[in-house]
Amino acid sequence: VLAAVDALSYRPSSIARGLATNRTLTIGLVVPDIANPFFPEIAKGAEEAARAAGYSLLLCNTTEDPEREAQILANLEEKWVDGLVLCSSRLPDAVLGQFLARHRAAILVNRPLPVAEMPPDLPVVSVQVDDALGARLAVAHLVGQGRRRIAFLAGPPASYSGRARRDGYAAGLAAAGLALDPGLSLPCAPVLAGGIEAASRLLAARPDLEAFLCFNDLVAVGALQVLASAGRQVPQDVAVIGADDISLAALVTPALTTVRVVQHEIGARAVEALLRLVHGDDTGRATVMLRPELVVRQSA
């Protein structure tokens, strides 16, 4: 028999097995934009953890579009994925809750659990980074250098990370006894162009600002470019701090001071937690909070 198996190079069909067992050994990974340097490293960590446990990843890209995200989530139901790793969901709590309820298990990355909107026994855990803490660390660093007029390039209003970073920014200022000046904050798209646009507008409106705290490193690089073309020295005239520590951060000039987020670990921890839910080793409802770390380079 085994000889025949070998001779015909028979492979068990995981699709038939899936139908019979109700398990596909596949998990859905949905990200807003795989081309955004924040996500590939998460995907890598997730893929490695998944493969180590015999699982495969279905990669879905929402293009930052909530409608597309909803379609994808619905599509993933039909695929019978064993679980879901959902990164930076932009869906409102109520909608998200509905979709989650139709899945067997899920991990939310960078987004708190929509507790009020979920069936009470749904196995979901949230993997987050303490973005508020990160922003506080960054503000404290700037304040420690004597900077007071600290601008905030806030990222997308719908981003939970953005909101947390905003809270940390406010808390950091408060801790230093500084007033929060609404004129120093501006939302922006989480990409280079967003940083360029927001930084130029802010710099034009408030030429006296002393630092940019940025939603992420891409935005920070945008700010760097704006400052360079405005002839402002970094960090002497204006300091810049990014967030995430994507590989780019160390390579630009001046090298970016940033709040490091361990993307690879996020991905790995997310699927590990997911598989614990899937296997029933854990019942969910938890939040894994990762600690960010300030990486001081040249820009601040």
**Residues 6 or more apart whose Cβ sits within 8 Å of residue 64:** 32, 33, 90
Instruction: Give exposure, 167-181, as e/b (b: 16+ Cβ within 10 Å).
Output: ebbbbbbeebebeee
Among residues 7, 12, 116, 144, the one that binds DNA under rule CB under 7 A: 12
What is the closest distance, in whole angstroms, from the C-beta atom of residue 78 to a copy of itself in the complex?
5
24 binds, among a copy of itself, DNA, none (CB under 5 to 8 A by kind): a copy of itself
Asked if 9 interacts with DNA (CB under 7 A), we say: no
Cis bond before residue 182 (omega within 30° of 0): no
Per CB under 8 A, which of residues 87..106 are in contact with a copy of itself?
Answer: 102
Checking 50-56 for CB contacts under 8 A at 24+ apart, the result is: 50/271, 50/275, 53/271, 53/275, 54/25, 55/25, 55/26, 55/27, 55/82, 55/271, 55/275, 56/25, 56/26, 56/27
251 binds, among DNA, a copy of itself, none (CB under 5 to 8 A by kind): a copy of itself
Among residues 3, 4, 9, 13, the one that binds DNA under rule CB under 7 A: 13
Q: How many residues bind DNA (CB under 7 A)?
A: 10
193 binds, among DNA, a copy of itself, none (CB under 5 to 8 A by kind): none
CA-closest candidate to residue 69, choices 33, 102, 101, 38: 33
Asked if 60 interacts with a copy of itself (CB under 8 A), we say: yes
Among residues 32, 39, 91, 260, the one that binds a copy of itself under rule CB under 8 A: 39
Q: Report which residue type is found at 23.
A: R
Asked if 77 interacts with a copy of itself (CB under 8 A), we say: yes
Two tokens at 130?
Answer: 């303490």
Asked if 220 interacts with a copy of itself (CB under 8 A), we say: no
What is the closest distance, in whole angstroms, from the C-beta atom of residue 177 to a copy of itself in the complex?
36
56 binds, among DNA, a copy of itself, none (CB under 5 to 8 A by kind): a copy of itself
CA-closest candidate to residue 72, choices 63, 87, 62: 62
Mind giving me the DSSP string for 51-80? Answer: HHTT-EEEEEE-TT-HHHHHHHHHHHHHTT
Binding site for DNA (CB under 7 A): 10-13, 16-17, 19-22
Binding site for a copy of itself (CB under 8 A): 9, 11-16, 18-19, 24, 26, 29, 33-35, 37, 39-41, 43-44, 47-48, 51, 56-61, 63, 74-75, 77-80, 102, 192, 221, 247-248, 251-253, 264
